[in-house]
């Protein structure tokens, strides 16, 4: 049950979630009947003087964010001594809930989700807003399976430093960047570290660091590298592995520079990997067709090694003194593989087989010829990271 029936013009309904900063309720505007989500800031947070000083100004800034990948803020106010703000209601689930249910997210879906996240971040970064608290719980998946970022920039209202760590942000240690722990400069690359953490969680089912307590997690966050993704799942594409670990670099300067550059790399990677998957599938199908082809002609007939060679229809003799029925004509496979720059191109070849059958000892000769053409794809793939990167 909500603590009050109304906050401002909104009638509160069921609780949708709760976190360190407060609780979220489904709500309805009393006059317009618009369905929204209302977040009531927790009392211990709202009573912090620094928070109250920043609340109005920061919420007004966040209301200026207009992007389909960002949950829209609608209004804010204070009721019963508690601060609240209203926002777009997203019907769906959080990425955190999906990871918990599915354990791991397929790498293709991980790439798609990361592209959506980076596109939304690019919009916010362009107007000077940094999320600071990007995590699966703050990524909502709507009924159309599109990702929307929520609680954008709210963490800034708390201020930086140790207060952020020991206060409402405690549950976010799994995804925050090292520079957030010691009050270092917060930049757009801080959000990009969080993108890497979220991608790591999607691919493995867990964040990069796990410890028995917050102190242990903080120590690993600052001093230890995360376990390599290829050691956890060797089937992950190498370019994806390298990008995630680049995003998780301790030094911000070693990470990609912008959300736009990451989005471009992910899009190029997706296109390259999809093409590679298609070519591999074509190759597999071609090989399966080859396996179905007979390895010799007339193999079902008994050889007649003692029979003298007979004249072939064109006057030629069968080889090795054997029956023409067992003389195999050529079966050739010509393949061409072309490698060009940063992408793997398809080499195509045709396989042609001619078969001739003749029965020895008969004056009437019968020839059964069949020709089968099978397209085969031979793939030479370049899996290095630079094959899929775009210059920023």
Catalytic residue among 5, 56, 112, 133: 133
Residue 367 lies in a domain: no
Residue 314 lies in a domain: no
Same domain, 197 and 49: no
Q: pLDDT tens digits, the chain, 392 residues: what are they?
A: 677 788 999 999 999 988 778 899 999 999 999 999 999 998 888 788 878 888 888 888 889 899 999 999 999 999 888 899 999 999 999 999 999 999 999 999 999 999 999 999 999 999 999 999 999 999 999 999 999 999 876 666 655 443 443 444 434 788 999 998 876 789 999 999 999 999 999 999 999 998 888 889 989 999 999 999 999 999 999 999 999 999 999 999 999 999 999 999 999 999 999 898 888 888 888 888 888 887 654 444 444 444 455 555 554 444 444 444 444 334 433 443 343 344 343 333 332 333 333 343 333 344 334 333 433 332 333 333 333 333 33
CATH number of the domain within which 43 lies:
3.30.200.20
Same domain, 196 and 105: yes
Structure confidence at residue 81 (pLDDT):
84
Same domain, 35 and 183: no
Same domain, 248 and 109: yes
Structure confidence at residue 310 (pLDDT):
52
Same domain, 6 and 85: yes
Known catalytic membership, residue 133: yes
How many domains, in total, are found in the chain? 2
Give the domain range for residue 200: 92-257
Same domain, 132 and 21: no
Residue 310 lies in a domain: no
Q: How many CB atoms lie within 10 A of CB 82?
A: 18
Same domain, 103 and 246: yes
Same domain, 1 and 142: no
**List of residues 6+ apart from 12 with CB closer than 8 A:** 2, 4, 5, 6, 25, 26, 27, 38
Residue 186 lies in a domain: yes
Same domain, 60 and 158: no
Same domain, 147 and 43: no
- Residue 59 CA to residue 129 CA, distance in Å, equals 11
Q: Which of 89, 118, 148 is at the close of a domain?
A: 89
- Can you give 136-162 as a three-state secondary structure string? HHHEEEECCCCEEECCCCHHHHCCCCH
Same domain, 118 and 247: yes
Residue 195 lies in a domain: yes
Q: Which of 47, 73, 89 is at the close of a domain?
A: 89
CATH number of the domain within which 160 lies:
1.10.510.10
- Tell me which H or E stretch contains 15: strand 10-19
Residue 369 lies in a domain: no
Same domain, 73 and 131: no
Q: Which of 70, 89, 108 is at the close of a domain?
A: 89
Angle between helix 188-204 and helix 95-102 axes, rounded to 10 deg: 30
């Amino acid at each position: 049950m909500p603590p009050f029936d109304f906050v401002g013009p909104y009638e509160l309904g069921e609780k949708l979630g709760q976190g360190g900063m407060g609780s979220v309720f489904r709500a309805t505007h009393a006059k317009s009947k618009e369905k929204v989500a209302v977040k009531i800031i927790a009392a211990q947070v709202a009573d912090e003087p620094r928070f109250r000083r920043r609340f109005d100004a920061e919420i007004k800034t966040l209301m200026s964010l207009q992007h389909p990948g960002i949950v829209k803020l609608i209004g804010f106010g204070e009721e019963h001594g508690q601060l609240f703000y209203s926002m777009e209601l997203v019907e769906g689930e959080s990425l955190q809930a999906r990871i918990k249910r599915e354990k791991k997210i397929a790498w293709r879906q991980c790439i798609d989700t990361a592209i959506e996240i980076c596109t939304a971040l690019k919009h916010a970064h362009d107007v000077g807003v940094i999320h600071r608290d990007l995590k699966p719980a703050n990524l909502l998946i709507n009924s159309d399976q599109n990702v929307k970022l929520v609680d954008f920039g709210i963490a800034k209202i708390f201020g930086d430093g140790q207060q952020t760590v020991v206060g409402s942000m405690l549950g976010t240690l799994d995804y925050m960047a090292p520079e957030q722990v010691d009050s270092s400069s917060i930049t757009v690359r801080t959000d990009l570290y969080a993108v890497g953490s979220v991608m790591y969680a999607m691919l493995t089912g867990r964040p990069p660091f796990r410890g028995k307590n917050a102190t242990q997690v903080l120590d690993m966050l600052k001093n230890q590298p995360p376990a390599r993704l290829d050691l956890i799942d060797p089937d992950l594409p190498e370019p994806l592995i390298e990008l995630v670990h680049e995003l998780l670099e301790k030094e911000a300067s070693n990470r990609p520079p912008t959300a736009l550059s990451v989005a471009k790399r992910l899009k190029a990677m997706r296109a390259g990997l999809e093409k590679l998957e298609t070519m591999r599938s074509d190759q597999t199908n071609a090989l399966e067709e080859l396996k179905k082809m007979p390895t010799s002609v007339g193999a079902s007939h008994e050889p007649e090694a003692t029979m003298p060679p007979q004249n072939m229809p064109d006057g030629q003799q069968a080889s090795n003194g054997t029956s023409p029925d067992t003389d195999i004509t050529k079966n050739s496979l010509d393949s061409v593989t072309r490698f060009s720059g940063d992408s793997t191109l398809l080499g195509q070849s045709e396989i042609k087989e001619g078969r001739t059958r003749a029965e020895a000892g008969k004056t009437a000769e019968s020839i059964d010829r069949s020709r089968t053409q099978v397209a085969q794809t031979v793939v030479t793939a370049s899996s290095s990271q630079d094959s899929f990167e775009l210059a920023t």
